[in-house]
Structure 1
Amino acid sequence: MSINGTYGSRGKSPSLQLAVQISPPGNLIDLDSTLGPSLLTGTFSYDSTNGWDIEAEVADLSLAHIWQFFDSSQQTALVKVMGSIIKATELQIKGDVEIGLGNDESRPPRLLFKYNYSLDGRWNMGLSFEETVSQDITIESLLGTLSPNDGLLKSMIKQVGGLVLVRKGSSSRLAIQVSPEMQGTNKKINLQAELHIDRFVFTYCQYTSTDEKSVLKRFLLISLNQFEIPMPNIPVLKQFKSPFDSLYILWTDSDVKQSDLAALNPSLAVAMATGNAMSGEDEEVFTAGFHTGIMSDGRVLLNHTFGQQTSGKTAPNAQDNAWFDPAVFPTGRKVDTTSNTSTVKFQKRLGPLTISNIGLKFESGNIVVILDATLKVGPVEMQIMDFGLGLKLSDLSNDTFTFIPSLSGFGLAINSPPLDLAGALIKREEFYMGGVMAAFKPYIFQAIGAYGTVKAENGEKIKTAFVILALGGPLLNINGIQISDVTAGFGYNSDIRFPDPSSVYRFPLIAMGQPPAPLDPLQIFTELAETTWITPVTDSFWVGAGVRGSAFNMLDAKIAAVFKIQNGALSHIGIFANCRAQMPQSGAPKLFASVELGITAVFDLVNGTLLISGSLSPTSYVIDSSCRLTGGFAAGTWFGPSPYAGDWVFALGGYHPKYTPTAYYPQEIPRIGISWQVSDRIFVKAGAYFAITTKACMGGASMLATCDVSGLHASFSALIDFLMNFDPFHYVLEVSINISVSWSCYVLFIWVSFGFDISASLYMCGPPVYGIFTIKVPIKNVTVMFGDSNGQNAPDKVCLDTFRSMLQQNGQGNKEELKISCGSGLSSKDDTTGHWTVRAGTFAFDVRSNMASTLAYLNGTAVGAANKVYAKTMQLTESSNGLKIDLIITVTDISSDDQYRSDVISGNLPAALWSPYDSSRDPSVSNADKSALLDGSASTISSKYGLSVRTPRPHLSRDEIKPFKIRNVIFPITLETGALSAPVPSCPVQDGSWEGKETAGETITQKRKNVQGIWKDANMRCKGFADVWVEAMDWAEFTAVTQTPNRLIGGFDMLVRGTPLISCG
C-alpha cells in the first residue's frame, strides 16, 4: 500500500493519493500461472467549492484476489472453477460506483453477478447477461470467457464454436449457476451454463472437488432436435420422417462416471442407463474425448467415441480390417477431423421403409448418420446401403440446419417365384463392388465382384479387381453322391483372407452357392460386403474353386481350394471344408445327432509352414439338442525357410492345463467333450485332450456332474492329467475325485443345511501298474496301495540297438537309416536297377541320416566341426561323452584327381529324443520337476544329420598344343582354272546380328582403339549374358568373367593379332 497526501493552504484543496496492491495466496498462483497482483489506485480530493471528489481505477481484479470472502474449505476449488472468469478491468467512482470488464470487444457483453449467502453457510452464485445483448454470443466467445487458457478446449471449439447462443439485440435466456454439492465426504463446486432453444439444448459445465488432489474437469453437451431431412419428390418417400429424436455432440476432458453424469445432466444419465445395461455400480459412461450420439424414445441408441469402432455387425475375427472405410485413429487427446464408423442394430419401420442398422461417423467436420434400410413395394424390394445424413457443424451458426443426404450403395430385388432376380452396387470413392443373382428353382446363379483404384498397405494407389461366381442346384449324381454347387473366383492385385475353422462356413467360396431358405437375395450381398475377406495387395493374385457334395441326405460337405501367387511365385495353398452329418436323414422330426465340423489346411511356402486344424460348430449335438458337442484338433509342421524347421505338433482337444505352448503353435483348441443340460436339475460336462510335441507327450480328461432336487444338492467332479515318456514307455498320472452332497430344509422355522464331502485321489504309474488310492471322509482318511511297487521306479535306459530300431518307421529296413536323394542334375532313373543318369555339370546328391551325426566324412576328409550327440532315451547326461555317430561317405570310381565338394546338412531335431538326459526332469521319476516339460519353448535342438555332395569344381580347358611359329605354316595356295569340278558352297548366315561390320574411313589403329573402348564401357558389356554362362557352368568363383577384361586390354597388341569386328546387333 502506498499513500501520498498534499494540502494547499490557499485554495484549501487537500488531496490524498492511494495505491493498493492485492496479491492472491501462493497456492492459488500455483493453480493458475496467469494470476498476478491486482492494482487499485484512487484519489481523494476536496475542493471548497465543489466538495469531495473520489476517483479510482482497478486492474486485473479476479475472484482469486478476494478469496477471503469464501469458506476456507472451498476457496481452492472455487478458484479452480472461476478463477479466470471474474476479471474486472475498470472501476470508476465519481459520485456513482461502476465496476465491470471494460470495453474489450473480444469478450461477450458484460456479465452480471449475483451472490447469495445464507446464515446456515449455504451459498450460490448466478451469472447472467444484461437484458439486451449488444453482440452475438457464440459458443466460442462464451467458453473463451469461462475457460480462456485451455488450449485443448479451443481445439474442440473450432468444430462447434460458430453456434450462436444469443443473437445481438435479443434478450438472453442463458443462465449460469455456481453452487457447491456434497459428493461423498467432499463437496463438488460446479459451474453449469445451460440454454434451451427451440431446436437445441446447450449445456457446459466445469467442476472440481474440494479435495486438494482433484483437478478441474470440463463437460460440453449440445443436443439437436427437430430435424428436416430433404428427400426426393417420390410419393412413397413422402412418409419418411426422422428415424431418431435427437442427436448430441459431447466433449469432456476427463472420464465421466454415471454419478457425475447424473449431476451434470440427469436426462442424459437416464437415457444412457436405459440404452446400456448398467450393473448398478458407478460405471464409466463417457471416456475423455469427443463423442456423438443418437437418442430415440428416451434412450441412447448409439454413442460414438472418436477413434473407437463398436459395431453390431460382428466381424469373424480380429483380422477384419474394413478396407472399404479406412479408419483414421487419433493419437493422444487430439480432436480428429475424421473417424471410423460405429454401427448398431436398430429396427424401425417408417411406412414402406424398414431401417435395420444405424451408425455414426465424423468426417471432415461433418457428423454423418449412416442408415441401412429396405424399401419394399409389392414384389420389388430395394436395399439402401450406407444412406448418409450429413450435418455440417459449421452450419450450426445459422438459424436453421438440415441434413444433406448421400448414398453409397443400393440393391434391387424382384421376388416373383419361381423366378427371383437381384442386384447390388456399392461405391467407395474410386472403388466399385457389386453383384447379381438369378434363381429359378432348383437352380441359383450368383456373381459378386469389385474393381477400382484403392490404396494398398504401402500407401501406393493400385488397380485391383476380383470376381466370385457360384452355381447352385443339382448338377451330378454318382452312386448316391450328389454334386450340387460349384464356385470359382480369382483376384488381381488382391489377397483373400484364409478363414479359421470356426468361420469356414462364412468363407465366400463356401458360403456362396445354395443359400439357406428362405431366400433373401439382398441379405447375401450385404453380408459379403460387411465381412472383409478380400483386401488390395500389390503384385498378389489368387484363384480358387469350391464344390458341394452330399450323400444319402445325411452327409453334406462343402470343400474349397485357393492358390495364392505373390511376386510371381506360388506362396500359399489353402484347402477348406465345412462338413455336416445328420442322423437320421435331414428333415426328420427329431435328430439323434447333428455334427458340423470346420476344417482348414494351409500350406505356406513363404514361411515354411503346414497347419491343419478343425473344430466342431457350437450347434453340434448328440442324443438331444441340449447335449452339445465340443472339440477341435490341430496338427502342424515347419520346414525351410522357417526358423522353426524340424518342429511339429499334434493336439486333439488342446494341451495340458499347465503346458505353455510356444507362440507359433496352434492356440486355444477346445476340449473334446460334451456339455449337457439334461434337465433343470441335472447338468453334465466332460472333456478330454491328447497332445504330442517334439518335447513332451500329454493327455487328460475331466468330468463334472451336478444334481439339485428339492433342496438336495449333489455334485461329482473328476480330473486327470498325465505326462508320458516316448521310449521307454512310462506314464505317471494323477486323478482327483470329489463328491459333494448337501441338503437344506426348514427345521422349526430355521433354514438348516446338512452336507458332507468325499474326496479321493489316485496316483498311478507304470508299467508295471502301481498306484496309491486315497479317500478322504469326514471321519478318517483311507489309503490303499495296489500293483507292483516296481512300477514307481524309473524305467531302465534303452540300448543303442533299441534306440536305432525306434527311429525306424514301420516297414522300413536297416538301409533306410540313410537316405540318398538327387539334389540336382538328374536326367533319368532306371526303376529296375535304381541307377541314375545325371548331368555332370550340375550333379549333386544328398545323404541324410535318421540319426544325428557327430562328424561327417567325405572320402576320408572331415567336413565341418564335430559336435556332441546325446540320446535322451539312452539316459546320456550332459556330463557324459555322448554318442559317437560318424557319417562316412566314399565316392569311388573317380576318373580325375579333382575333389568333390560338400556341405553339412543340419536342422532342428526333437528335443524329446536328442537332448541330454536329466533325471530331475524325468516325468517317470517320483517328485521330478515337470515345469521344463510343460514349457513349450526349446522343443527342438540344432544338430547335423547329413551331407550334400557336389561334383568337382569345373576348370578351364587344358591346352595340350606346344608353342610353334605361325609363320612356318603360312604359305600361298594357287588354284588353276578348272581344277575344281564344283563351286565351293558358302555357309548360310543364320542371324545377321552376329555378323561383324567394317567401319568405313577408319584406320587400323582407330579400329583397334574403338574395340578397346567398347570392352571398357560398362553399359555396352553384355554382363547379363555372361552371368548366364557363369551360372550354367557353376563358375561362381570366376566372377571376373563378367567384369572388364583389364588384362586383355593391357596386352591387347600382343594378345589380339587381328582386329575384331563389331557385331551388327
Structure 2
Amino acid sequence: MRSRCASCVSPEYIPPSVGNYFLAIGIRFTSFEMIDSFILVTATFGHRFELDIVGLSTLVLPAPDAQSAGVTPIAEVQLALRATFIPDDGFFGISAQLTRNSFLLSRRCQLTGGFAFYTWFSGTYEGDFVLTVGGYHPQFSPPSHYPTVPRLGFNWQVDDHVTLKGSAYYALTPSALMAGASLNATWQDGNLRAWFDAAINFLISWKPYHYSADFHISIGASYTFHFFGTHHITAHVGADVSIWGPEFTGQAHVDLSVISFTIRFGSSGRNKIEPIKWDTFRQSFLPDDNGKICTINVKAGLTNKAAAKDSTDATTQPDSNNLGVVNPKIFCLTTDSVIPAQQVYRGEQGQNVLERAGATIAFNIGTMQLSNAQIISTQRIIITSDGISVEEQFDFHPLTKNAPAALWGSQVQPSLNGDQLINNLLTGYEIRAKRLDDAPHTDPINYAELQQAATLDREPDAFRWSSLIPFVPQRADDATRRETIHNTLYNNDVAGRRTAIASALLGDDSLNLANFSADDFLSAPQVNELIAR
C-alpha cells in the first residue's frame, strides 16, 4: 500500500508546490446499462485556480451480456473527454476524441474523429472562440492556440480487395463557418485497380450572406504490367465544380483523360458581394436596447447594493441613474461600449481627448464596406457634482478588447487565413478618484527643547486625574444607531451644550450642523450606551 501511495505522489505526476492545493474526485457509473463511464475531476487552488475534468465513456451495441452468448457487437464507440477551466488565463475548453477501440459493423471499420470548443474571455486571445467537429477546411490554417482535431470519419478494410474511407468536418470561428465531407472507395486485385473519389467543402458567411463550395468527383481504373519495363494504363473521368453566390454562379471542369474542358453556368463572372445597410448591421450585431450599447459598471468600492444589485453589471441595476453608495477610497467605475471608439473626450464641452496609449483606434466595418476614414465613433465621459463638472478630479485609464475581424475588419468576404481578431480595440475607460494630498499634520518637536522646558511634575497640583467613564457600545443595528444619532443632533438640551463647548473652543467661529444627517454615514458608528439611555 505504501509503495502504491508513493507512486501516486511521484514528482513526475504531481510535482510539489508550496502554497498550492490539489483535490481529485473520481466516479464510475453506467447509463442505460449500455454506456460505461469514468470521470475524474481535479481542482488546484492556492496561487491560482484551475479545474480539469477527464473522462472515458464506452458504448457497446448490443449490450455486453449479449456478447457472452457469442454475438459480435454491431458497434463499439469509446470517447475520451477533457475539459479545462482556468480563470487567470481567461480560458475554457472542452474536447473529446474517439479512441482506437471504436468501430462500426466490423472491427476492421475503424472510427476516428473528435470535437472541441475553446473560448477565451480574457488575456492575449480575449474574444476568440472556435467550435469544431472533425477539424477545419483544407485551406484553413488554424492559429497556434486553436485545438487540433482529427477528421470525423471511418476507415474500413472490407476485405482483401475493397477499402472504404469517409470523413466529415464542421467548424465555426469568429470569421466564418466551414463544413465538408469526403468519400473514397478503392478496389484492387493484383495489378488491376479501380477507384471512386468524392469530396465537398463549404464556406459560408452571414452578413452579408455569401457562400462558396467546391465539389470533386472522380472515377477511374488503372492496370500495371511489365514488358520491357513497368507500364501503366489509366482511364478516368472526373469533374471539379465550384459554386458561389448569391446570385448562384459556378463553373465545372470536366476531365475525360484524353480531353478536358470547363463549363460556366449561372450569372456571368464572380458576383460582387453587396454590402449590408446600417439598419441591417444594427439589427444583426448590436443590442436591441440602446442603453446596452454603452454601459457604466461599478468595478470596486460598492458598499450599499440596495440600488445596485450587481457591482459588475450595471444592466441589472433597477435604476441606471443610481449606482448605489460607494467607498471613495477604492471607488472605481468602468465604461464599456459594444462599438469601438476612435476618440474619447472628457467633459460636456471642449475637446479634452483622453489618453489612448496601447489602444487600437483604427478599425473598419467590412460588411458595410466602410473604412476607418468613413467611420466616426466617439465617446464623451461627463462627471458632475451638483451640476458642476468635476472630471479633473478623476484619473482615466483606457480599456481594450479583442473583437472578431469579421465584425470590425476590412474584408466583406470571410477569409480562411486572414486575421481572426482585431486586437486591443478601445472600448472604454477605468475611472478612479485622484489621490488627495496628504492631510495636514503637526511638525515634530525637537527633543532638546522638551528637555529645557520646565516640567509640570514639579508644580504642586499640576495634574488632577478624574475617573474615565468607559465607552460601552449600544447593542443595536445600523438603523437604530442612525436614529439615536439623529435624535441627539436635534435635541435642544444637547444642542445647547454642544454650542457652549464649540464657542469655548472655536471662539467666534460657529459650528453649523444644520445640513448634517445621520444618513450621510457609509456605516453608522457605534453609539455609547449612556447616550442611548
Map 1:110-509 → 2, pairs under 5 A: 423=1, 434-435=3-4, 448-449=5-6, 466=9
**Contact 1:548/1:559, CA 8 A, preserved across alignment:** yes
Provide the C-alpha distance between the structure 2 equivalents of 1:563 and 1:751, rounded to a whole number of angstroms: 63
Give the drift of 1:911. Answer: 2.1
Map 1:51-62 → 2, pairs under 5 A: none
Equivalent residue in structure 1 for 2:110, among 622, 628, 632: 628
Q: TM-score, normalised by structure 2?
A: 0.70
Q: 1:552/1:779 Cα in 2 relative to 1: closer, same or farther (>3 Å)?
A: same
1:572-607 CA-partner distances (Å, limit 9, x unpaired):
221222222233323322322221111211122343
What amino acid is the match of 2:265? Answer: F
Q: 1:800/1:839 Cα in 2 relative to 1: closer, same or farther (>3 Å)?
A: same
Equivalent residue in structure 1 for 2:238, among 736, 746, 759: 759
Equivalent residue in structure 2 for 1:902, among 396, 400, 404: 396
What amino acid is the match of 1:579? Answer: S
Q: TM-score, normalised by structure 1?
A: 0.37
Provide the C-alpha distance between the structure 1 equivalents of 2:59 and 2:286, rounded to a whole number of angstroms: 38
Does residue 545 in structure 1 map to residue 28 in structure 2? no
The SS at the match of 2:318 is coil
1:777-796 CA-partner distances (Å, limit 9, x unpaired):
13543544334448x31211
The SS at the match of 1:674 is strand
The SS at the match of 1:734 is strand
What corresponds to 1:325 in structure 2? none
What corresponds to 2:353 in structure 1? 862
Q: 1:648/1:988 Cα in 2 relative to 1: closer, same or farther (>3 Å)?
A: same
Does residue 609 in structure 1 map to residue 91 in structure 2? yes
Give the drift of 1:957. Answer: 7.3
The SS at the match of 1:727 is coil
Equivalent residue in structure 2 for 1:774, among 236, 253, 266: 253
**Contact 2:154/2:166, CA 8 A, preserved across alignment:** yes
Provide the C-alpha distance between the structure 1 equivalents of 2:232 and 2:390, rounded to a whole number of angstroms: 94
Give the drift of 1:725. Answer: 3.7
Give the drift of 1:765. Answer: 0.6
Give the drift of 1:905. Answer: 1.4
**Contact 1:848/1:947, CA 8 A, preserved across alignment:** yes
**Contact 1:915/1:941, CA 8 A, preserved across alignment:** no
> Which structure has more RCO (C-alpha within 8 Å, separation ≥ 6)?
2
The SS at the match of 2:406 is helix
Q: 1:896/1:575 Cα in 2 relative to 1: closer, same or farther (>3 Å)?
A: farther
Does residue 874 in structure 1 map to residue 368 in structure 2? yes
What corresponds to 1:853 in structure 2? 341
Does residue 741 in structure 1 map to residue 221 in structure 2? yes
What corresponds to 1:1022 in structure 2? none
Give the drift of 1:767. Answer: 2.4
Equivalent residue in structure 1 for 2:73, among 591, 595, 603: 591
What corresponds to 2:57 in structure 1? 579
Provide the C-alpha distance between the structure 2 equivalents of 1:709 and 1:816, rounded to a whole number of angstroms: 68
Does residue 718 in structure 1 map to residue 206 in structure 2? no
**Contact 2:174/2:420, CA 8 A, preserved across alignment:** no
Map 1:545-944 → 2, pairs under 5 A: 545-565=25-45, 568-588=46-66, 589-640=71-122, 642-667=123-148, 669-708=149-188, 712-742=192-222, 755-781=234-260, 783-789=262-268, 792-808=270-286, 813-826=289-302, 827-830=304-307, 833-834=318-319, 836-841=323-328, 842-860=330-348, 861-865=352-356, 867-877=361-371, 881-891=373-383, 894=386, 898-899=390-391, 900-917=394-411, 922=413, 933-934=416-417, 939-944=421-426
1:780-819 CA-partner distances (Å, limit 9, x unpaired):
43544334448x312111222322222237xx54433234
Provide the C-alpha distance between the structure 1 equivalents of 2:74 and 2:386, rounded to a whole number of angstroms: 72
Unaligned runs of 5+ residues in structure 1 are: 1-422, 426-433, 436-447, 451-464, 467-493, 496-531, 924-929, 960-982, 991-1032, 1034-1065
**Contact 1:647/1:940, CA 8 A, preserved across alignment:** no
Q: 1:854/1:683 Cα in 2 relative to 1: closer, same or farther (>3 Å)?
A: same
What amino acid is the match of 1:803? Answer: F
Q: 1:911/1:752 Cα in 2 relative to 1: closer, same or farther (>3 Å)?
A: closer
Q: 1:892/1:801 Cα in 2 relative to 1: closer, same or farther (>3 Å)?
A: farther
**Contact 1:561/1:575, CA 8 A, preserved across alignment:** yes
The SS at the match of 1:553 is coil
What corresponds to 1:136 in structure 2? none
**Contact 1:733/1:765, CA 8 A, preserved across alignment:** yes
Provide the C-alpha distance between the structure 1 equivalents of 2:126 and 2:13, rounded to a whole number of angstroms: 30
**Contact 2:404/2:420, CA 8 A, preserved across alignment:** no
What corresponds to 2:457 in structure 1? none
Give the drift of 1:758. Answer: 0.9
The SS at the match of 2:407 is helix
Equivalent residue in structure 2 for 1:949, among 431, 436, 439: 431
What corresponds to 1:504 in structure 2? none
1:898-943 CA-partner distances (Å, limit 9, x unpaired):
43443221122222222234x8xx56xxxxxx6xx426x6743321
**Contact 2:27/2:40, CA 8 A, preserved across alignment:** yes
Q: 1:644/1:744 Cα in 2 relative to 1: closer, same or farther (>3 Å)?
A: closer
**Contact 1:703/1:718, CA 8 A, preserved across alignment:** yes
Provide the C-alpha distance between the structure 2 equivalents of 1:956 and 1:535, rounded to a whole number of angstroms: 48
Q: 1:610/1:894 Cα in 2 relative to 1: closer, same or farther (>3 Å)?
A: farther
Q: How many residues align?
A: 425
Q: What root-mean-square deviation, in Å, do the aligned CA atoms of Structure 1 and Structure 2 show?
A: 3.6
What corresponds to 2:453 in structure 1? none
Give the drift of 1:715. Answer: 0.4
Provide the C-alpha distance between the structure 2 equivalents of 1:536 and 1:569, rounded to a whole number of angstroms: 13
**Contact 1:634/1:650, CA 8 A, preserved across alignment:** yes
The SS at the match of 1:913 is helix
The SS at the match of 1:852 is coil
The SS at the match of 2:44 is strand
Give the drift of 1:637. Answer: 2.6
| More strand by percentage | 1
Map 1:22-41 → 2, pairs under 5 A: none
**Contact 2:254/2:260, CA 8 A, preserved across alignment:** yes
1:951-979 CA-partner distances (Å, limit 9, x unpaired):
465567799xxxxxxxxxxxxxxxxxxxx
Give the drift of 1:612. Answer: 2.1
**Contact 1:797/1:873, CA 8 A, preserved across alignment:** yes
Q: 1:738/1:952 Cα in 2 relative to 1: closer, same or farther (>3 Å)?
A: same
Provide the C-alpha distance between the structure 1 equivalents of 2:225 and 2:145, rounded to a whole number of angstroms: 54
What amino acid is the match of 1:853? Answer: A
What corresponds to 1:44 in structure 2? none
1:865-898 CA-partner distances (Å, limit 9, x unpaired):
4933311212234xx6131111234445547764
Identity between Structure 1 and Structure 2 (%)? 27
**Contact 1:723/1:731, CA 8 A, preserved across alignment:** yes
Q: 1:558/1:838 Cα in 2 relative to 1: closer, same or farther (>3 Å)?
A: farther
Unaligned runs of 5+ residues in structure 2 are: 310-316, 442-464, 473-521, 523-533
Provide the C-alpha distance between the structure 2 equivalents of 1:646 and 1:786, rounded to a whole number of angstroms: 40
Provide the C-alpha distance between the structure 2 equivalents of 1:586 and 1:845, rounded to a whole number of angstroms: 61
Give the drift of 1:732. Answer: 2.1
Give the drift of 1:540. Answer: 3.3
Provide the C-alpha distance between the structure 2 equivalents of 1:656 and 1:858, rounded to a whole number of angstroms: 47
Provide the C-alpha distance between the structure 2 equivalents of 1:797 and 1:819, rounded to a whole number of angstroms: 29
